[in-house]
Every structure is written in structure tokens, then in C-alpha cells.
């Protein structure tokens, strides 16, 4: 397949990525060479603050940084604004987000608004937002995915991440497996609409998914090796989005299903869990080996049936029908399947999701 290269294609990538045990305790020296300035605002939830301040604080002070640590609120537009204002008040040279999804996204988006760099310190491996240029916040009607900048540095402490509930790691695996169908959707859009398709970023995203498929056994065996596999795959997949300049390699019809579930059945299941189930169904529409995807999710312990996340058959069918209209500009297999209640139900039943 030949590539259509747009006139200007901007790739934005992290400058420093450190993955390993106890690396959060060396954050000061790790980011010192980046010349980010000396003042920073750190954002995290209350539990993470308690768990990580003793590691991160002294290391920053030792390296000559000044910081204020702010406990964040819900992932809303107004919270992004509040953090951005605080960063301006503190004359912060950069922002550090410490946590799982919410704090990382809030810090990333606030840093983007303030036009200052952002350092990502993930404490769980639940989705690829830890390295991607995208952040999501809840709007009044639905969640919004917003383009920002990727982190300038990612400090992924596998020791910290291993303390997070296992469910979060499992959700990360679902988010990674979803690259199987996301890339297929992107390829399809290239053929049907002429949209730019980047083979390199598509293959990098696929590599992340394949690593999870190959190492499912290791991941299921609660080991530091398994955690490293997931963390590195999530980072690569976020980087793939940075190279593509869009979330295309990481987010396709399976993500549209997950977003539709956020609306139809709010609070049921985690992002990656819903993406994993969506991948099984979209793989069937794409003619991929959905059984293999289902089997991998099973080995890892990720839900493959709606009832496992407390959702009903009705909710899955509604979400499948709604998914196509969530992001109209994004061409996916859903444009061709044109699911109605009947065909959506049959699809979900055929692959065992309901």
C-alpha cells in the first residue's frame, strides 16, 4: 500500500522515557537535563499523593526544583481550567501528572492550555493516555477526547504500578488489544475515503497489541515482567499516535463502542474492558480471528461478556447501534455494517458478548 503523505506531517514524541523499578524516586535527576525550568506544579489524586510524595518530593528538591503538590478533582473542563490557572499563579515552568487516567489527563490538558511541558508519572497501566498526545475529559453529554501534546518525559515506576489494583492492568490490556481493529478501521478509511494512512505508526500500534497476545500468559501471572510488557506496550502505542499525528492507530470502531457504552451504561466497566469487548465484535465485522482475541482476553482475565461488567444485553445492543454516530468524521467498519437492533444483537450473540 502506498502512503499519502500530507504536506506537513508533525510528529511529536516524548524526549525521555524511563521504565523500571523505583524510577519515580530518581525523577529529579532524570528530568534535570531537559532544562524545563525549576518550578513545577504536581497534580495527583489524594491516595497517589499519600503513596508517592515521599519518593518524588525529595528527589525533586535534591535536584533543585521547587514544587507545589495539588490534589485534583473530577475530570471536567472546569478542573482543567482550575489547574491551568493554578499553574499560571505559581509561575510553573512545567506540570507533572502523577496517577492513573484522570490526573495524567488533567495535567496534560492544563499544561497544553498554559503552553508549558508536561511530565507523565503513571501509577497504573490502564490506558495509553500515559504517553499519547490526547486527553479525555467528561463533558455534560459525553466524554471528549482532546488533542494536546505528548508528555516531554514519561517516568513509569513499575514498583508503583504493581501496587495498583490488578483490574487497571487488565483494562490496559483491553486498550492495547483494541489496536487490532483500530488499525483495520484506519486502513479501511484509507481505501474508502483516501484518508492519510501511516504504515509505520499502524505497525507500531499493532506491535503493542501483538505483544499482549503473545505474552498473555506472562501478564496473567502477576509478575514484574508482565507489568513491564504492558507498560512498554502502552507507551509505544501512545507514541504511535504521536507519530501518526492522530489517535487513528489507537482508536477505531471498538473505541466508538466503548464511548457509546459510557453514554448508554455509565459507570459500568472500565475503558479498556469495554474496548476489549468491542474489539471482539468489531474483529468479527472485519473478518479477523475474533476467537483468538477473545481467548487472549480470557487468559488475562479481562471481561468478554457484558454480564461480567454488569451490563445488560439491551445496553450492548443500544451501544452498538449508537456507536456509528459518536464520531461521524471517523470512518470505520461501522459505516459499512450499518447495524440496527437486530443485526447488532446477532453480532453480540455470535461472538458470545451477550
Q: Which residues sit at the interface with Zn ion, rule CB under 5 A? A: 127, 175
Shortest distance, CB of residue 128 to Zn ion, whole angstroms? 6
Q: How far is the CB of 171 from Zn ion (least distance, A)?
A: 9
Q: Are strands 143-147 and 134-138 parallel, antiparallel or unpaired?
A: antiparallel
Taking the complex as a whole, how short is the minimal distance between the CB of residue 247 and Zn ion, in angstroms? 8
Residue closer to Zn ion, measured from CB, 215 or 262: 262
In the numeric block, the cell 512498554 is attached to: 232
Q: Which residues pair with 144 in a beta bridge?
A: 137
Q: Which residue reads 475530570 in cell numbers? A: 75
* Residue placing its CB nearer to Zn ion in the complex, 127 or 149: 127
Residue at grid coordinates 533543585: 64
Please report how close the Cβ of residue 255 comes to Zn ion at its closest, in angstroms. 6
Nearer to Zn ion, 175 or 185 (CB): 175
Write the CB contacts of 150 (distance below 8 Å, at least 6 apart in sequence): 12, 13, 14, 131, 132, 133, 238, 239, 241, 242
Nearest approach in angstroms of CB 271 to Zn ion is: 6
For residue 25, what are the contacts with CB-CB under 8 A and spacing of at least 6? 55, 56, 58, 59, 157
In whole angstroms, how close is the CB of 175 to Zn ion at the nearest point?
Answer: 4
Nearest distance in Å: CB 250, Zn ion: 6
CB of 224 to Zn ion, least distance (A): 24
Tell me the residue number closest to Zn ion, measured at CB. Answer: 175
Q: State the Cα–Cα distance between residues 324 and 296, nearest whole angstrom.
A: 26
Nearer of residues 41 and 169 to Zn ion, judged by Cβ = 169
Cα–Cα distances in angstroms (integers) from residue 55 to residues 61, 114, 227, in the given order: 11, 27, 20
Beta strands per DSSP E along the chain: 16-20, 39-44, 66-71, 94-99, 118-122, 134-138, 143-147, 153-157
Q: Which residue has the cell 469487548?
A: 277
CA torsion angle 225 239 263 351 (round to 10)? -60
Q: Least Å distance between CB 182 and Zn ion? A: 9
- Cβ closest to Zn ion, residue 87 vs residue 304: 304
Nearer to Zn ion, 127 or 330 (CB): 127
Strands 94-99 and 118-122: parallel
CA distance 333 to 303: 23
For Zn ion, which is the closer residue by CB, 57 or 133? 133
- Closest to Zn ion by CB, 25 vs 101, is 101
- Report the residue number, 30 or 181, with the smaller CB distance to Zn ion: 181
Q: Is 317 exposed, middle or buried (0-12, 13-18, 19+ CB in 10 A)?
A: buried
Amino acid at each position: 500500500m502506498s502512503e499519502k503523505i500530507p504536506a506537513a506531517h508533525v510528529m511529536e514524541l516524548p524526549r525521555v522515557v524511563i521504565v523500571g523499578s523505583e524510577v519515580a524516586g530518581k525523577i529529579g535527576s532524570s528530568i534535570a537535563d531537559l532544562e524545563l525550568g525549576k518550578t513545577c506544579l504536581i497534580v495527583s489524586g489524594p491516595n497517589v499523593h499519600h503513596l508517592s510524595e515521599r519518593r518524588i518530593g525529595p528527589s525533586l528538591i535534591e535536584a533543585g526544583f521547587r514544587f507545589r503538590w495539588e490534589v485534583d478533582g473530577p475530570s471536567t473542563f472546569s478542573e482543567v481550567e482550575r489547574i491551568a490557572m493554578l499553574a499560571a499563579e505559581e509561575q510553573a515552568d512545567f506540570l507533572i501528572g502523577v496517577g492513573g487516567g484522570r490526573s495524567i489527563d488533567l495535567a496534560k490538558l492544563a499544561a497544553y492550555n498554559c503552553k508549558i511541558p508536561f511530565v507523565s508519572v503513571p501509577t497504573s497501566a490502564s490506558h495509553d493516555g500515559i504517553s499519547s498526545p490526547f486527553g479525555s475529559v467528561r463533558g455534560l453529554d459525553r466524554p471528549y477526547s482532546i488533542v494536546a501534546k505528548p508528555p516531554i518525559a514519561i517516568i513509569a515506576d513499575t514498583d508503583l504500578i504493581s501496587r495498583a489494583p490488578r483490574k487497571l492492568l487488565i483494562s490496559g490490556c483491553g486498550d492495547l488489544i483494541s489496536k487490532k481493529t483500530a488499525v483495520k478501521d484506519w486502513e479501511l478509511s484509507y481505501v474508502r475515503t483516501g484518508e492519510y494512512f501511516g504504515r509505520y505508526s499502524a505497525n507500531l500500534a499493532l506491535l503493542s497489541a501483538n505483544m499482549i497476545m503473545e505474552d498473555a500468559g506472562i501478564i496473567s501471572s502477576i509478575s514484574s515482567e508482565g507489568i513491564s510488557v504492558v507498560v512498554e506496550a502502552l507507551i509505544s502505542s501512545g507514541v504511535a499516535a504521536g507519530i501518526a499525528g492522530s489517535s487513528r492507530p489507537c482508536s477505531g470502531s471498538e473505541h466508538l463502542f466503548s464511548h457509546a457504552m459510557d453514554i448508554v451504561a455509565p459507570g459500568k466497566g472500565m475503558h479498556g474492558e469495554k474496548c476489549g469487548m468491542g474489539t471482539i465484535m468489531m474483529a468479527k465485522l472485519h473478518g479477523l480471528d475474533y476467537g483468538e482475541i477473545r481467548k487472549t482476553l480470557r487468559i488475562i482475565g479481562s471481561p468478554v461478556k457484558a454480564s461480567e461488567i454488569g451490563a445488560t444485553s439491551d445496553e450492548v445492543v443500544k451501544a452498538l447501534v449508537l456507536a456509528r454516530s459518536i464520531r461521524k468524521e471517523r470512518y470505520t467498519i461501522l459505516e459499512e455494517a450499518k447495524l440496527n437492533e437486530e443485526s447488532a444483537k446477532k453480532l453480540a450473540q455470535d461472538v458470545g458478548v451477550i
